[in-house]
Structure 1
Amino acid sequence: MTVYIIDAKRTPVGIKNGIFSTVGAAQLAAPVIESLAEQLTQLPDEVILGNVTGPGGNIARLSSLLAGIPQSVPGFTVDRQCSSGLEAIRLGAALIGSGEAERVIAGGCESSSTSPRPEKAIFSPPSIGDPEMGIAAEWLADRESISRKEQDDYAVLSYKRYAESITAGRFLQEIVPVAGHALDEAALKSRPIERMTARAKAAFQPGGTVTALNASAFNDAACAVTMTSIKSPGLQVIASAAAGTDPNVPAASPVPAIEKLLAKTGLSASDIDVWEINEAFAVKIIYASQKLGIPFDKINPDGGGLALGHPYGASGAMLVLRLFYGMQRRNERYGIAAVGSAGGIGLAMLFERI
């Protein structure tokens, strides 16, 4: 059965201990779920949310009930680290595709500000290696000879694209206000980004190339989409693929997932009109661009996580939201969303505009 994405909404993105400092992950997700459900003529069959650092329990069920969704609608929560929001959408597509559901609300949420986890989880056994994400990004940059300047140049590009999107009002129709806030926290700041990027110090190791400006921040946000088996304008889910790679260089993991997806569909990278790849680190995007032969003008054209932020559990869903609105606006046919996750797992999904 064919699967369509017919709606997409998100909260503003907050910076850790910023505008959403006291708003929990479920409280962020509930208004998004409510907004999507209001547009449905029938109840969703399932609510699926990705979450990484939350308080535990079944945050999808909690968020659904907070949103006023009837108790008869079940929900479940997914943790595939940074890929969680995209995995939730992938699982929703699988339920609809198999005939187990007709309507699903799927996405993710994260509140770095209220997370009870003081340290990162364990993603890989010590015998293999389990570095901090920033150190792992440094290792990839060193292995691939990706310079500080290359990373900074890409970061500046991301910030400029995001600023252009804000100025053009591209995000207004997708944002659900929360706690009196209707704009991303990053949009409220005007900064001399080129000068700041050039002056930033290495954040993870002395003399390193990864800084606080060419890496993403800690963030709070929620994002979800409505999926259905009924053909409607929006996006059609074509295929997906997950792949594992060395846990010591998780920023490289989108590449094998994308290669697996392209092989499955018989498409080449040149057939794809637009790519939304999570910008946890600039080095991740540069590596994917080099390995897959993707020009920067096709990657994250509205700006990405370096500027907007990286609310772990929600980030994968936000990539799909970007495709949902961007592909319609630019009249593109094929788009891919891809994320690399801690532990060395990549996930990619292919969509076609309807």
Structure 2
Amino acid sequence: MSDLPASTPVIVAARRTPIASKARRLAQFGLVELTSPVLRALCEDADELVTAAGGISDVVLGNCMGPGGNPARAAALAAGLGDHVPGGSVDRQCGSGLAAILDAAAPIRAGDSGLRLGGGAESPSTAPIRSIGGTAYSRARFTPQGFPDPDMPQAAEDLATASGISRLRQDRYAQLSHHRAAEALTAGRFSSELVPLGGLHADEGIGRRSGVIPRLPPLTRQGTVTAGNSTRINDGAAAVLLAPASAARQQNLPGLALRSHAMVGCDPSLPGLGAAPALQHALARLGAETSDVNALEIVEAFASQTVAVLARLGIDDDDPRVCADGGALALGHPWGASGAVAAVRLFSRLVTSGAPAGTLGAAAVSVGGGLGIAAVVEVVR
């Protein structure tokens, strides 16, 4: 870590709740109740660092469908961080959690010595019903009138058609995600990152659909996208603790240095492709290529989307570097938290597992409306 600039942001702790389907095991928890235990766990994980820094300087959280009211500030108060700790909330839809981490890292990169918490949360179970003039709607438009704004299942179907991705290929990818997640669960590879909540100690959806995936009907007439090769609607929260490299060095803490990132726009009619150019831009800024990345977490909202992104990156569907312990198809996709879940997974796969210093990892998200967000991290010890 000695050769890193002192102001390089480093993830020194990473935690998340288990992920549960809407209206099931975490349905009684709102955004604040989901997030505050995660924030407390992060501070406990790096207690000496937090004490030496005089506490947390800010909390930034991503969220898509909550009631507003700046849930980051509310969660910081509920976590007992002190009323002097502000909070800010970010909405980049399902890229919100990763975007929040990058936003939290920005002051550190600019020379601020304070510690930051960044992550995301989503509680569809407690999200308010939205309406205009008494007419309910499920979501705001991602684009203005005159631009494509497909619902996500239709966007996934359109992408499968445009990319020539068959139903069989999608189902095989989804089954692989479940298989990997089940193996990781049995091996205990999620244990160090989870903050049990509501009696739930593991992700609720692992393995639930894997056996029936080939038999499920398509979501659209004569389509290929099904409930089995799509993710579920989920509740969950995830966050990381960010410190300047100088502070991590003083405490001798290993972590993930944020080396590069990118946010891009893409065709809103095929939003599932956004992760590919975002990751390409982030790697190019670092002077790296996909072959240099040892661990890649792509948010698997749909199998068709993930397979299409991998194809554009020149990566095989079954590459062991990609979502090695299963991705959102198996674990779940709590929209505003999913990008942060990807960061937590990288921390477990690289730091907790003992990967050597210099190992590269990356997280990438495709976002409704035609966005892509990616970050490249490096193990420091």
Normalising by structure 1, we get a TM-score of: 0.96
Report 1:227-306 matches (<5 A).
227-229=242-244, 230-231=247-248, 232-295=253-316, 296-306=319-329
Q: Name the % identity.
A: 43
Q: Is the 2:231–2:332 Cα contact (8 Å) retained in structure 1? A: yes
Q: Distance in 2 between matches of 1:346 and 1:309?
A: 19
Q: Distance in 2 between matches of 1:158 and 1:91?
A: 30
Q: Does 2:229 match 1:214? A: yes
Query: SS in structure 2 opposite 1:180?
Result: coil
Which residue of 1 is the match for residue 9 of structure 2?
A: 3
Query: SS in structure 1 opposite 2:186?
Result: helix
Q: Distance in 1 between matches of 2:29 and 2:171?
A: 32
Q: Distance in 2 between matches of 1:139 and 1:273?
A: 31
Q: Distance in 2 between matches of 1:70 and 1:305?
A: 34
**Residues 45, 244 of structure 1: CA spacing in aligned structure 2 closer, same or farther, 3 A cutoff?**
same
Provide Cα deviations, 1:137-180, integer angstroms capped at 9, x if missing partner.
11111001011111000000000000001100111111112223
Q: Does 2:356 match 1:344? A: no
Pick aligned residue for 2:74 from 62, 71, 74: 62
Q: Distance in 2 between matches of 1:131 and 1:265?
A: 34
Which residue of 1 is the match for residue 40 of structure 2?
A: 34
Gaps of 5+ in 1: none
Provide Cα deviations, 1:290-320, integer angstroms capped at 9, x if missing partner.
1111232211001000011000111000101
After superposition, the CA RMSD in angstroms is: 1.3
Which residue of 1 is the match for residue 239 of structure 2?
A: 224
Q: Distance in 1 between matches of 2:210 and 2:97?
A: 29
Q: CA deviation at 1:330?
A: 6.0
Provide Cα deviations, 1:252-300, integer angstroms capped at 9, x if missing partner.
1111111111221111111111110000001121112111112322110
Which residue of 2 is the match for residue 49 of structure 1?
A: 61
Q: Distance in 2 between matches of 1:145 and 1:197?
A: 20
Q: Is the 1:46–1:101 Cα contact (8 Å) retained in structure 2? A: no
For 1:298, give the aligned amino acid: R
Answer with 328-337 or 279-288: which moved more.
328-337
For 1:255, give the aligned amino acid: A
Runs of 4+ displaced beyond 4 Å: none
Q: Is the 1:45–1:101 Cα contact (8 Å) retained in structure 2? A: no
**Residues 124, 177 of structure 1: CA spacing in aligned structure 2 closer, same or farther, 3 A cutoff?**
same
Q: CA deviation at 1:186?
A: 1.9
Q: Does 2:31 match 1:14? A: no
Pick aligned residue for 2:102 from 75, 86, 90: 90
Q: CA deviation at 1:100?
A: 3.2
Which residue of 1 is the match for residue 146 of structure 2?
A: 127
Query: SS in structure 1 opposite 2:240?
Result: strand
For 2:376, give the aligned amino acid: L
Q: Is the 2:192–2:348 Cα contact (8 Å) retained in structure 1? A: no
Q: CA deviation at 1:34?
A: 1.2
Q: Distance in 2 between matches of 1:103 and 1:166?
A: 31
Q: Distance in 2 between matches of 1:82 and 1:18?
A: 21
Which residue of 1 is the match for residue 193 of structure 2?
A: 174
Query: SS in structure 2 opposite 1:4?
Result: strand
Q: Distance in 1 between matches of 2:119 and 2:113?
A: 16
Answer with 18-27 or 323-332: which moved more.
323-332
Which residue of 2 is the match for residue 315 of structure 1?
A: 338
Q: Distance in 2 between matches of 1:215 and 1:3?
A: 34
Query: SS in structure 1 opposite 2:365?
Result: strand
Which residue of 2 is the match for residue 152 of structure 1?
A: 171
Q: Is the 2:66–2:122 Cα contact (8 Å) retained in structure 1? A: yes
Q: Distance in 2 between matches of 1:192 and 1:19?
A: 17
Normalising by structure 2, we get a TM-score of: 0.89
Gaps of 5+ in 2: 1-6, 130-136
Q: Distance in 2 between matches of 1:191 and 1:47?
A: 34
For 2:303, give the aligned amino acid: A
Q: Is the 1:10–1:175 Cα contact (8 Å) retained in structure 2? A: yes
Q: Distance in 2 between matches of 1:246 and 1:277?
A: 19
